[in-house]
Amino acid sequence: MKDKVVLITGGTSGIGKACAFAFGKAGAKVAVSGRNQQNLDQTSQELRAAGIQNVAINADVSIEADCQRMVQETVDHFGRLDVLINNAGISMRALFQDLELDVIRKVMDINFWGTVYTTKFALPHIMAAKGSIIGISSIAGYRGLPARTGYSASKFAMHGFLETLRTEMLHKGVHVLVACPGFTASNIRNTALAANGQQQSESPRDEGNMMTAEEVADQILKATIKRKRDLVMTFQGKLTVFLNKWLPGLTDKLVYNVMAKEKDSPLK
C-alpha cells in the first residue's frame, strides 16, 4: 500500500474510518467522504495526527454529481487513485407489509446506486493503476434477512453488480473484492431506518459481542493486498452462507428464529 491512494466512502465512522487508519498505517494516502462536515474535519485531524496523508470530501453518494466530484477531487489532490472502498451504507428494520416504500428507495440510493455512481467515475483511474474496487457488503447479500427487505435487496444488488464487473475486468488487471463482515460493532443499527423512515436510534443487538470495526478493516486490508475475490467474516457468517446454499429450507427457519430474538423485533 506504500504511496497508493485509497478513496473510502462513508469514511468518518465504523468500518470506513477503521479502513482509513488501517490502509493509512500501511502506507497509503487516504481520501474519506461523508455528509457531516464536523465528522469529516474530526476524522481528517485524527488521521493527520497519526501521520496519514489525507483529504476529507463532503459528498452524498446517493447524488451522482457528488460522486463524480468526489473522485475528481481525490485525483486532483493526490494525482491518482488506486483503491476504491465502497463503504457508505444505511440499514433498515421493519416488516415489508408495514414499510413505506421511500425507505427502500433511500436504502437502494445509498447502498446500491452510491456504489454504482462512485465506481463508474473511479473506474478509469483504477484501470490505469490496475488497482482494486472493494464493496463492503453483508451476509444479507448472500441470505435475505427478515425485517431487512430493503437492506438485503441493496446488498444482493451490490453483489450482482460487482460480480459482473469483476468478470468484465478479468483481463484488464482490475481486482474486485466483495467483503461481508457479518455483525460488526458500528453505528449502522443506530441509524437504521424504521418503517416510517425515521432512524431507530437504538441498536437492537448486543454491540459488545461483535467483531470490532478495526478487526474488519485489518481483514479487508489483507484481502486487498492478496487480491482476494470474496471475504466472508465470522463463523456465524460463513455458516449462514454454507447452510443457505445446501439447506435453504432449514436456513429459513434458523434465520427467522435468530432475528426474532432481537430486542423489539417486529417478527414477534
The dihedrals phi and psi of 35, each to the nearest 5 degrees, come to: -100, -15
Question: Residue 158: pLDDT band by 50, 70, 90 thresholds?
Answer: very high
Q: Which of 72-81, 137-146, 167-176, 206-215 has the lowest mean pLDDT?
A: 206-215
Question: Residue 117: pLDDT band by 50, 70, 90 thresholds?
Answer: very high
**Alpha carbons 165 and 139: distance in angstroms, whole number:** 20
**Cβ contact 141:120 at 8 Å:** no
Looking at 117, 142, 151, 256, which residue is catalytic? 151
pLDDT at 37 over 60: yes
Question: Residue 263: pLDDT band by 50, 70, 90 thresholds?
Answer: confident
The 10s digit of each residue's pLDDT in 16-36 is: 999 999 999 999 999 999 999
C-alpha dihedral sign at 108, 113, 118, 120: positive
Which residues contact residue 141 at a Cβ distance below 8 angstroms, ignoring those fewer than 6 apart? Answer: 152, 155, 156, 158, 159, 178, 180
Options 1.10.3720.10, 3.40.50.720, 3.40.30.10, 3.20.20.100; CATH of 5-235 = 3.40.50.720
Indicate the DSSP class of residue 148: B
The dihedrals phi and psi of 74, each to the nearest 5 degrees, come to: -65, -50
The 10s digit of each residue's pLDDT in 185-225 is: 656 546 788 888 888 766 555 555 678 999 999 999 999 99
pLDDT at 94 over 90: yes
Q: How far apart are the first and last CA of the chain?
A: 47
Is 151 annotated as catalytic?
Answer: yes
Mean pLDDT of 69-92: 97
Average confidence score pLDDT of the chain: 93
pTM of the model: 0.93
H helices, E strands: number in the chain? 9, 7
Dig out the grid coordinates for 189 from the structure.
Answer: 443499527
Q: Is residue 137 helix, strand or coil?
A: coil
The domain segmentation of the chain, as residue ranges, is: 5-235
Give the pLDDT of residue 224: 98
**Alpha carbons 81 and 204: distance in angstroms, whole number:** 38
Q: Where are the alpha helices (DSSP H) in 213-267?
A: 213-225, 235-246, 248-260
